[in-house]
Amino acid sequence: MLGRIPKRTITRLTLYYRGLAESRRGDFVSSNEMSKLTGFSADQIRRDLSYFGQFGISGRGYSVVGLRKKLIKILGVDKQCNVAVVGAGNLGSAMLKYGGFEEHGFRIVCGFDANQGKTGRSIAGKRIFDFSRIKKVSRRLKIKIAILTVPAPVASVVARKIVESGIKGIMNFAPINLHLPTTVQVLNMDMGISLQRIAFLLKKGGYR
Amino acid sequence: MLGRIPKRTITRLTLYYRGLAESRRGDFVSSNEMSKLTGFSADQIRRDLSYFGQFGISGRGYSVVGLRKKLIKILGVDKQCNVAVVGAGNLGSAMLKYGGFEEHGFRIVCGFDANQGKTGRSIAGKRIFDFSRIKKVSRRLKIKIAILTVPAPVASVVARKIVESGIKGIMNFAPINLHLPTTVQVLNMDMGISLQRIAFLLKKGGYR
DNA sequence: CCTTGTGAAGTTATTCACAGCA
DNA sequence: TGCTGTGAATAACTTCACAAGG
């Protein structure tokens, strides 16, 4: 167990966690059942879990409760993580209004915007601060991750300032490549690119 | 050239295209310059491009115009692709209002919602149709891709109906695993999972 | 029987390294 | 010299297949 963990394993673990939450029947769940639930192969699931120790029972499977706890611990879902939305436009506002992250341990605590017309007021009970104050506010509110929803032309500059403020994780919705220090974890959610990938796969008939 | 193209190559091609659009100086661009622009290795870039034929010039690099045209052709950006938003809530409305997809060849033509209070009217000039009409409307408007922004509990059912209506590409924002026929291309944009991945990498210090 | 966990094999993707061209 | 394009080597990841446990 626990050599080097493949990157994709982490993504899958979140999906196992999700899948486990969906079905809640029986005390034990086998890798085969998990496979049907998540679409990944049973082999893969066992391998992924084995990176973190052995907690399955031969002939039975994994204790649902135990597996759940394990995944929570691995993924750190037990700890609260505060998140801020940077850019209170259409998409940013939608994020602020969406409450679905809480159950996974993430709390959107506030927004930031550079536009005077948006700062000061609240959206879904979350205050929109002036972006210039991000350093102080994010420190005070212990913000660990920023959701970046500003327009593409300013995204690079804004991202750099986010990093300067001490935030080390960014979920980037702007359709550009931010290049930031490798100490910063950036995850791109570029919808244009996603549409292009889908379109390409449709044209090509997918990978069979 | 052109054996089997790695899946990830497609994702990268869209990023090369994007990177190319960002810098527009000089007639030629080398794989090394592209590397700095996109963050992928020059080797990787050359390999990826070589799957689609040889159009670089030794000692100079790739013609910016030529490469751009090639990428457009490979990715099919030249063709219009019509998209619908299914679920006109906060996120769906934000999508309808966002105009940034057009330049990449995607046009959001309409929305669908099952809620009487939302159907009939328009958002950002795009009509919201009753979801029950999706089959006819999507056929008439030649919709190829659906952006799924309905709440998680109904997402499975809605997705199935989308597929029945003949749409074969789905960008899924609902935080659940849709399992659909393999002929359907699904791309998950689960923000909860993305946050978890970022949080995990922050904790672990990333992959160096 | 049914399971897990894991070496070994197989597959896929990336990097190395260099011949050949401008 | 500076660059591409690509075999060969390497690394990363997944699947096979089976011993061992229940």
Contacts with B, A 4-63, CB within 8 Å: 7, 10-11, 14-15, 18-19, 22, 37-39
> In Å, how far is A9's CA from the nearest CA of chain B?
10
Within B30-168, strands assigned E span: 56-57, 61-63, 81-86, 106-113, 122-123, 126-130, 143-148
Q: Is residue A103 pLDDT above 80, yes or no? A: yes
- B200 Cβ nearer than 7 Å to chain D strand: no
| Secondary structure of residue B78 in the 3-state scheme | coil
| Domain A7-75 indexed as CATH 3.40.50.300 | no
Give percent helix, percent strand, percent coil of chain A, each to the nearest 5. Answer: 45, 20, 35
Q: Which fold has domain A81-194?
A: Rossmann fold (3.40.50)
Interchain pair B196, A38: CB under 8 A: no
- Per-residue pLDDT, A208: 41
Domain with CATH 3.40.50.720 in chain A: 81-194
Banded model confidence at residue B179, pLDDT cuts 50, 70, 90: confident
Q: Does A72 touch chain B if contact means CB atoms closer than 8 Å?
A: no
Interchain pair B189, A185: CB under 8 A: no
- Per-residue pLDDT, A16: 94
Domain with CATH 1.10.10.10 in chain B: 7-75
- Give the contacts of B120 (CB within 8 A, at least 6 positions apart): B128
Compute the residue count for chain B.
208
- Per-residue pLDDT, B23: 73
Integer-rounded Cα radius of gyration of chain A = 20
- Per-residue pLDDT, B208: 42
Paired strand residues for A158:
none
Pick out the nucleotide with least CA–C1' distance to A28.
C3
B70-79 pLDDT tens trace? 999 998 888 9
> In Å, how far is A60's CA from the nearest CA of chain B?
25
Compute the residue count for chain A.
208
State whether the Cα torsion A39-A43-A49-A51 is positive or negative.
negative
The percentage of chain B sitting over the pLDDT mark of 70, rounded to a whole number, equals 96
Q: Is residue A207 pLDDT above 90, yes or no? A: no
- Per-residue pLDDT, B3: 58
Q: What is the mean pLDDT of residues B141-167?
A: 97
Q: Does A161 touch chain B if contact means CB atoms closer than 8 Å?
A: no
Q: Does B198 touch chain A if contact means CB atoms closer than 8 Å?
A: yes
**Residue B127 and residue B110 in contact, taking contact as beta carbons nearer than 8 Å:** yes
- Per-residue pLDDT, A206: 59
Q: What is the mean pLDDT of residues A103-107?
A: 90
Distance CA A192, CA B171 (A): 11
Q: What is the mean pLDDT of residues B153-173?
A: 97
| Site from B75, B202, B208 to mutate, A interface, most A CB atoms within 10 angstroms | B202
Looking at every residue in chain B, the average pLDDT score rounds to 92
- B1 Cβ nearer than 7 Å to chain D strand: yes
B88-134 pLDDT tens trace? 999 999 999 998 898 888 999 999 999 999 999 999 999 999 999 99
Q: What is the mean pLDDT of residues A149-173?
A: 97
pTM (predicted TM-score) = 0.91
Q: Which strands sit side by side in the sheet containing B122-123, from one edge to the other? A: B122-123, B126-130, B106-113, B81-86, B143-148, B169-172, B185-188
